[in-house]
Chains A and B, each alone.
Chain A
């Protein structure tokens, strides 16, 4: 799906191989490297590869947005899609650990979106929310609820999963009923 192009202990930026080919907001992804890291996508951005060249409007004479790209095939090479993920766990000694990896994913580590079965295993423990809730990323409530929507779809017992997640959120945001309610209301389809 992409490769790590910026990396730190708490998160990474990956460049998508395909323009607009990034995973969705809240998706669970996993990197390669000696300590494969799990991340939750919290920002997706598409921009010009050369920061000095700003995209300009091209579609005045085109019928659809797709036609803009068909008439300007070079755009696929001049734009790129990046996605940012906050690290929510890693794999160490064959086990899933809900804490930061000893070292961040290397630059150029491959990044994959986790398939449903892997996402179900990772999110089966409500500990999966701890690093995400404390990350301080922008639009945190949106990102947590998007992650939960992905996670609940992979669970065999969605109701039980949501009940557990609600309890964990209440513990992670003590006394902040409004935030917990706001997140849970957005999990509903």
Chain B
């Protein structure tokens, strides 16, 4: 039997009516956030943040909270580079242990000499060294699959972007884009041991960032990560530290409010409000917010000179979050290239950067591709007289006997 839609229809209606009721609460929360924003002093909040211990992620405020910057004129000649990836995870029901990463690459040049190069780089990983990360000190291993494979894919995307940038002409302003966040969130927290972070961030991710920064020393090259429909709350969380929402001189969430039930803390008036809600009320088309800093522990601990800065951008019908390394944020020219380039990319791409959109199209692995990949693996194993054993559970799913 497939999903019984009749049984789920009533539950969907309940969900919709619940959201409708909570909408009024959310509007009140947003109004409070905007009101607080209108009087908040960024330098006061920033100074308080450095003295506080919060249970939520607060933006490091480099600029104001409500700054607006109109879109600069886009360069007449520029290039957009983009990389996006898809992967086929390790499948324990498949006869061979392996995974596949497919990277889509795009290089589009605009202006006097328009051209485009679209491509994909599928790679199958099968060796033991591909399947596990090893701690050279202790000999412990960590299997590369699931969320960790997603992190590896993000690292490979950045490495491919660095390679693409190195191969692209240096005589034209170049915007190098990746989809999603620059922050490897899968590696945050305590889920993985330190050697995993060392292998993926120190040994792979940061060298790729270094390559891009090195290129940017001698040519106009800007790296940016584009987050569509962001759910982040870094800026709203900064408002929580404003004196109107947090009465304490030095916030310590666990000590002052840890015993209070959810919704009863003084700062809970802005709960549920996301940064994009706030900036959609502030930014006109083409405008960006001030640049601020993420204080994510993984960035502060591991990223060094590549500290992740971000701004919000109204480049279409949605507010996007744009993440840039410090060396882009600190360069007015590169920041301007990111801002104008992304507005132009979104205009050409019906609201989403066209280079990223095409990179996604090059990278995407469809359900049909996954099935075909599976058949190819089994056929190849069979041709080499290797056992093509699959789990009985998997066989049961595929045969659907009665």
Contacts and interface: CB of A to CB of B under 8 A. Distances in A.
Contacts of A77: 116-118
A61 B348 CA distance: 10
Q: State which size class the interface on B falls in.
A: 10 to 19
A74 B358 contact: yes
Contacts of B116: 73-74, 76-77
Interface in B95-140: 106, 108-110, 114-118
A47 to B, nearest CB: 16
A74 B354 contact: yes
Nearest to B366: A52
Contacts of A159: none
Contacts of B354: 72, 74
A70 interface: yes
Contacts of B358: 74, 78
B361 A73 contact: no
Given A50-B361, A53-B361, A72 B348 contact: yes
B118 A73 contact: no
Contacts, number: 31
Most A CB contacts (10 A, CB to CB) among B106, B108, B109, B114 go to B114
Interface of A is mostly: loop
A56 B348 CA distance: 11
B118 A74 contact: yes
A96 interface: no
Contacts of A69: 114
B108 A56 contact: no
B108 A73 contact: yes
A53 B118 CA distance: 16
Interface in A38-80: 50, 53, 56, 58, 61, 69-74, 76-78
Given A71-B348, A74-B116, 7 more contacts: A50-B361, A69-B114, A70-B110, A72-B354, A73-B109, A74-B354, A77-B118
Interface of B: 106, 108-110, 114-118, 347-348, 350, 354, 358, 361
15 contacts: A56-B350, A58-B348, A69-B114, A70-B114, A72-B348, A73-B108, A73-B115, A74-B106, A74-B116, A74-B118, A74-B358, A76-B116, A77-B116, A77-B117, A78-B118
In order of increasing CB-CB distance, the 6 nearest A-B pairs are: A73-B116, A74-B116, A73-B114, A70-B114, A77-B118, A73-B115
